[in-house]
Amino acid sequence: MMTIKTSNLGFPRLGKKREWKKAIESYWAKKIDKAELDQTLQDLHKEILTIQKDHHVDHIPTGDFSLYDHVLDTSLLFNIIPERFQGRPVDDDLLFDIARGNKDHVASALIKWFNTNYHYIVPEWDNVSPQLNNNVLLEKFNFSKEVGVTSHPVILGPVTYVALSKGGDQSFDEKVRTLLPLYKEVFEQLTEAGAEYIQVDEPILVTDGAADLQDITKEAYEFFNEAAPAAKLVLQTYFERVDLNFVGQLPVYGFGLDFVHDNGFNLQQIKDGLFPKEKALFAGIVDGRNVWSTNIEEKKALIETLQSYTDELVIQPSSSLLHVPVTLEEETLDDSVREGLSFATEKLDELYALKQLFNENDDTLYNELKAQYERFESQSFKQLEYDYDSVKSERTTPFKERKVLQDQVLNLPDLPTTTIGSFPQSREVRKYRADWKNNRISDEKYEEFVQNEIKRWIEIQEEIGLDVLVHGEFERNDMVEFFGEKLNGFLVTKFGWVQSYGSRAVKPPIIYGDVKWTAPLTVKETLYAQSLTDKPVKGMLTGPVTILNWSFERVDIPRSEVQDQIALAINEEVLALEEAGIKVIQVDEPALREGLPLRSEYHEDYLNKAVHSFRLSTSSVQDSTQIHTHMCYSQFGQIIHAIKSLDADVISIETSRSHGDLIKDFEDITYDLGIGLGVYDIHSPRIPTEEEITVAIDRALQEIDRSLFWVNPDCGLKTRQEEEVKQALTVLVNSVEKLRQDNTVKQPN
């Protein structure tokens, strides 16, 4: 009888109460020294390893625990250091500077990790000298042994690493070949230290581009097989299907496959005989990207099927658990919903229940989880009827005609300036919100504080000289969670934090029922801000695609149906703002690109549904109401036509970290709507220079009609310090003023 083991691909770094984030940010703020940072993170790493041991995981990962980002860790491991940061010791301070920038140099680009809400730091190959630096992966593996945990090292594979990189004169294949001896050395050191097997992550093999990478992938893993034969390599994939006809022939110990997000293809390939039976199958059967409990009876049947096709079966999550919160342990939730939830530690319990059922014929935990799942499934959260026909799904007047009306109403100067929406969430802002939520201060006192902050920042914006203002979003904890707290059908947790990038954590709401708008969400604060100034103030909303992508969505109905429900709710708020007299309304969709399926065969359907939902939320306004949207962290080239189809009057797009590369996307399309390309990076504490901003604007105007161009930072300013924001925006406005003076341009009446 086959013995089934369990494995994990990665565990959340944040800690149960964001201890990881707090320690790193305290170090940045110079509140703790390096020794204290190291000790805090070491203690947290030990706790994470112990949690997995206590939950009976047979193969516990190490190397997933990072100071910032696992892709950046790989860059430092192999000395792929951006040219502007070279010549310094390869240490944690260098890592942080590459990720965040410093007063002298801009940070490296920040890009979405495949189609998740996690972001990685893009490796840069210009003038690098690859070599093996201090093997921190070996240090982490040895640390796990010291704390009594048998772990397996995890490393990003060479093909995926190069595919996620940019720059350099070498070809793709040459870059991979340069790294192979360095990987070999890492594998040898880990094997000598006692690593039973090594998890090599190659998620790039689930994408369309994998077909073009077969030759170099085969070369790489044949090299590893000959050069480091003692290392048991498990080639791990996730997020989609792989071509088992190719991948199954690679000379590795085993393969990790996703059986949750593969649309059924991986299982079918195995049934078709494409999996080599003598290889170990690391089967991702528990959803690593969502928070719903597993249909454990369904997984039991899947395991029974898979056992027939391999001599060694290991069950695990479908991906790293980095994408879900740590535990339900301290959540106070209604049992009717709680029983349907499963965070990282609970997912380990699900795997253990299945292992015990098959190995020990012990069905105690299995039956408990099965009954819990059935009780949740018996709940009815779907009760509403939706009238889609009464809501417009497109604006009937062309943009050129709308623009004439909007110009008359808004009377803006050439190259209008604005921000993306949020202003710094200072410690004082967060304290007042926490005090209010915990009933330590009255509603009246909290509202007075929020209004004072709005008033203060309206005055700051007017003093700086911005043209279209915002109220600052001081009443909002997060651009999605805020709406989740106010719309029916959403559940908000207390400690359900997930890492987004670096130390930035978000708390995605959980969509458990039908979504419904019942009362204005943002009108009061926006209207108050507008009452303080003669300049237009933007209403600030989050769009339906982003709310869905940045929430844990329902899986019992199609995503597009949930998305359209959200769109109708946002449409209600758009109309409420318009009725209150707000003339500029921004409906942000930063997650539109990240939700794009990894396989191109699904792109058209996804984009059509995304565009429809956005239009459903914005098309019922009057022609004179100007609709803005915003996108960030994205590679936009393949969706540029969908962006145009949104028919937003103005779109602002993050480009600063890509150093203006996005502008090339506009060389192949006539984009005749309003657009702002972010001219400085808000994710870095450095203040841009006037020269940098002027160059960014001039480059954009080579491809974009000046009459359509807006100037703005690349994203919201929530995470920055107040003085940084004031200085940076002053530089931005001063740069624009000089550009206006240098040209014969339209000025406000």
The answer to whether the annotation marks 420 as part of a ligand binding site is: yes
CB-CB neighbours of 124 under 10 Å: 21
Contact call for residues 592 and 639 (beta carbons, < 8 A): yes
Phi and psi angles of residue 538, each rounded to the nearest 5 degrees, phi first: -80, 135
In terms of DSSP H, where are the helices of 272-325?
296-306
Pairing of β 488-491 and β 510-516: antiparallel
The answer to whether the annotation marks 112 as part of a ligand binding site is: yes
The answer to whether the annotation marks 329 as part of a ligand binding site is: no
**Helix-helix angle 427-437:443-464, to 10 degrees:** 160
The answer to whether the annotation marks 559 as part of a ligand binding site is: no
Contact call for residues 400 and 394 (beta carbons, < 8 A): no
The answer to whether the annotation marks 91 as part of a ligand binding site is: no
The answer to whether the annotation marks 457 as part of a ligand binding site is: no
Q: What angle do CA 300, 305, 308 make, to 5 degrees?
A: 130
The answer to whether the annotation marks 184 as part of a ligand binding site is: no
Integer CA distances (angstroms), 617 to 243, 392, 492, 550, 747, in order: 39, 8, 23, 17, 33
DSSP conformation letters of 594-634: TTS-SSGGGHHHHHHHHHHHHHHHHTTS-TTSEEEEEE-S-
The answer to whether the annotation marks 681 as part of a ligand binding site is: no
The answer to whether the annotation marks 284 as part of a ligand binding site is: no
The answer to whether the annotation marks 632 as part of a ligand binding site is: yes
Report CA 494 to chain centroid distance, whole Å: 20
Q: What angle do CA 249, 255, 256 make, to 5 degrees?
A: 145
The answer to whether the annotation marks 19 as part of a ligand binding site is: yes
The answer to whether the annotation marks 641 as part of a ligand binding site is: yes
The answer to whether the annotation marks 473 as part of a ligand binding site is: yes
Q: Which residues contact 374 (CB under 8 A, 6 or more apart)?
A: none
Contact call for residues 504 and 68 (beta carbons, < 8 A): no
Of 164, 79, 94, 203, nearest in space to 130 by CA: 79
Give me 120's structure tokens: 């990685």
Q: What is the DSSP letter of 500?
A: E
Phi and psi angles of residue 92, each rounded to the nearest 5 degrees, phi first: -65, -35
Catalytic residues: 683
Among left, alpha and beta (phi > 0; psi -120 to 50; other), residue 149 is: beta
The answer to whether the annotation marks 588 as part of a ligand binding site is: yes
Of 661, 718, 725, 738, nearest in space to 688 by CA: 725
DSSP conformation letters of 388-445: -TTS-SS-SS-HHHHHHHHHHHH---SS-BB--SB----HHHHHHHHHHHTTSS-HHH
The answer to whether the annotation marks 308 as part of a ligand binding site is: no
Local structure of 5: helix, strand or coil: strand
The whole-angstrom separation of Cα 93 and Cα 622 is 52
The answer to whether the annotation marks 258 as part of a ligand binding site is: no
**Helix-helix angle 34-54:136-146, to 10 degrees:** 60
Task: Report the binding-site residues for Zn(2+).
Answer: 630, 632, 641, 654, 715
Task: Report the binding-site residues for 5-methyltetrahydropteroyltri-L-glutamate.
Answer: 18-21, 112, 117, 550, 594
Task: Report the binding-site residues for L-methionine.
Answer: 420-422, 473, 588
Task: Report the binding-site residues for L-homocysteine.
Answer: 420-422, 473, 588
Task: Report the binding-site residues.
Answer: 18-21, 112, 117, 420-422, 473, 550, 588, 594, 630, 632, 641, 654, 715
